[in-house]
Amino acid sequence: MPSYLTLGGILGGTTLALFLIRKYMSRKWGSFTSDLKLDGKVIIITGGNTGLGAEVAKVMAAKGATLILACRNWDRTKDFLAQLRKSSGNNDVHFMKLDLASLQSVREFVQEFQDKYNRLDILVCNAGVWMPMEKNLKTQDGFEIHVGTNHLGHFLLTNLLLDLLKMTANSRTVVVSSSLMRTGRFDPADFDNFHEGRVPEKKAGFAPTGYCDSKLMNALFTRKLAEVVPSMMSVCVCPGFCGTELGRHVQMPWYKKMFFPIVGLLFMRSAFRGAQNITFGALKESENLVNGGFYRECEISEDDMKRLDKFDKDELWKLSAQYTNLAE
């Protein structure tokens, strides 16, 4: 009997400790709500059918926006779209096909959008991929899968939509990055980010180097975009470590799978909670934002802004424009 009591005490103490640690960690998480109505506003959310994008879509639809879910797959979107229309009471929510891993698909999406709409109030560049580097995957145009999809696809999309964004008063672009950009690198003289990607070091972290580099590019792109179009608010946000489908292609060894639930319990927030950082970037009053700023937990991250100063955003823009044939 004493052994059972001892075991129960250990389990109870451990559970309490984990609960207290999670509660402490969650106090730092960004939180944002807004009473702003969006009737008459046109919003695009890439990857708006799942994860963070879906949570942002719920907020925007409920506020009355004309909402475009820019996604790759109709079959993976149709059920969510029907549920979203029903739950929000907003039938002005639509699917438009967009595959960011294909520059041709990006151009076709923009043409279709321009044929239907004459304004764009908010562009949320949210969609992304996370793939093991050893798979050596490429986009349809031959770019490293993370850089080609997460960065170049959004770079071209945003630039092709700039005329509409500039024509729309108080328009805004929100680019979703990650704190993993802190381990990202961009150095064209040292390695080819765009085609081959950065080879992981011997003791590489859990995150693919291509993903980290693409998230760094997202942040650098946002800073440069604020210079190119100073009349439009452009912000980059980190949603935090969230429970989404992003890592669904990763195969973990059994021993890591054993510990992952504990890690998730301590540090992982829900997609709903993480999406509040994106909603913050989209709906916070412009006078309370820094154009080109990098935000974590709904606050400007001065440390990350200083880190971004070390990289050449002008060279990134130049190469991105070249590889996407932007002038065509």
How many domains would you assign to the chain? 1
Active-site residue, from 4, 24, 117, 211: 211
For residue 253, what are the domain limits?
34-323
Is 14 buried (19+), middle (13-18) or exposed (0-12) by CB count in 10 A?
A: exposed
Q: Is residue 28 part of a domain?
A: no
The predicted structure's pLDDT at residue 257: 47
Q: Give the amino acid at 144.
A: E
pLDDT level of residue 42 (50, 70, 90 thresholds):
very high
CB 295 within 8 A of CB 165: no
Tokens in use for 193? 């980010």
pTM of the model: 0.87
Better-scored residue on pLDDT, 163 or 20: 163
The predicted structure's pLDDT at residue 293: 98
Q: Is residue 85 part of a domain?
A: yes
Tokens in use for 159? 């630039």
Q: Is residue 274 part of a domain?
A: yes
Contacts of 161 (CB under 8 A, 6+ apart): 44, 110, 113, 120, 123
Q: Is residue 93 part of a domain?
A: yes
Q: What is the CATH number of the domain that holds 270?
A: 3.40.50.720
Q: Which of 15-24, 58-67, 118-127, 172-181 has the lowest mean pLDDT?
A: 15-24
Question: How far apart are the C-alpha atoms of 257 and 318, rounded to whole Å?
Answer: 42
Question: From start to end of the chain, where are the E strands?
Answer: 42-46, 66-71, 93-97, 122-125, 172-176, 233-238, 242-243, 269-270, 294-296, 299-300
Q: Is residue 5 part of a domain?
A: no
117 is an active site residue = no
CB 219 within 8 A of CB 177: yes
CB 298 within 8 A of CB 280: yes
Q: Is residue 175 part of a domain?
A: yes
pLDDT level of residue 128 (50, 70, 90 thresholds):
very high
The label of the residue with tokens 């452009």 reads 234
